[in-house]
Amino acid sequence: MIKGTFSCIDAHTCGNPVRLVTSGHPLLRGETMGEKRLHFIDEFDWIRQSLMFEPRGHDMMSGAFLYPPCSANADAAILFIETSGCLPMCGHGTIGTITAALEAGLLTAKTPGRLVIDVPAGQLNVEYQQTGNKVDWVKIYNIASYLAYKDIVIDIPELGSLTIDIAYGGNFYAIVEPQKNYPGLDKWSPDKILKFSPLIREIASQSVDCKHLLDEKVSGLSHVLWTGEPQHAGSHAANAVFYGDKAIDRSPCGTGTSARMAQLHAKGLLKQGDTFVHESIIGSQFVGRIESITEISGVTAIMPSIQGWARVTGHNQIIVDDADPYAFGFQL
């Protein structure tokens, strides 16, 4: 029996995939995208698994559904899906979703060049530039981002001791900077990122409790961000973000860049108004900026923006037929 048919626009943001699902949306309960996300996770996770996992997706697959806005001032709402679950916020996912939706005529801004988008982590102001039908770039004004823990020492089997910081930029990130047992990204292979990141996430999670300062339902250390020297003109720093079980972000990672700017701000290395060009493992770049400074629950936080671009790669109609033994996907 056919369980679902989903029309999708496939795109990538600076190299990382975004599958925008344009039909087959489940009806979700809740007043906010946070509540709708929980309903989706409870009842409709099979859709995410079918569309993200092999054989219809792959380790890096990431996507989104566009929903009507939850707030009176918003133009639309986004629910993020990816191999690891439903992220509260995804920067590359937002840039890809806005680009694909505008180009397909699925989204119309009340004020051209500006959008307000509800996401599970809160609300985003967005700016974009469109030339003809093509969206040149999208800039997201992300939610408040902050350094949650600093100088956590963990012992990683076969690697040794590492000192890491943990910052929030829409998701919680363990940030690993060059040090005795980590020479930096240019001297570190993707295999090592895939081998050590799950251990860092697991061991760091035993030492600290990552809960959002205002909403304890937003919790858990989910991502590991490895830093390094930039390799490309114009970049201030390089990074590789590990997520899910086996994914390394091909984009510079929007929530990761926000978390990294919050960490650098807390350490006095970036200030309000500074621009921070962050490059990914494939050399693609996001332009980050510290727009303003705020405080949440007595903790200094930054209000970051992230600018990047996306390109549509194809249109796809995906069928989920439960007669297929791999209808709901698999992961190795």
Chain residues in the site for ligand PYC (CB under 6 A): 62, 90-92, 243, 249, 251, 253-255
CB nearer ligand PYC, residue 66 or residue 327: 66
Min dist CB 14 to ligand PYC, Å, is 9
CB nearer ligand PYC, residue 3 or residue 137: 137
User: Measuring CA to CA, how many Å separate 180 from each of 29, 177, 193, 264, 320?
Assistant: 50, 10, 16, 20, 49
Write out the two tokens for 63. Answer: 């996507």
CB nearer ligand PYC, residue 4 or residue 91: 91
Q: What are phi and psi of 306, to 5 degrees?
A: -135, 130
CB nearer ligand PYC, residue 3 or residue 58: 58
Let me know: does 90 contact 254? Beta carbons within 8 Å.
Answer: yes
Min dist CB 120 to ligand PYC, Å, is 13
> What are the catalytic residues?
90, 253
Min dist CB 1 to ligand PYC, Å, is 33
CB nearer ligand PYC, residue 142 or residue 320: 142
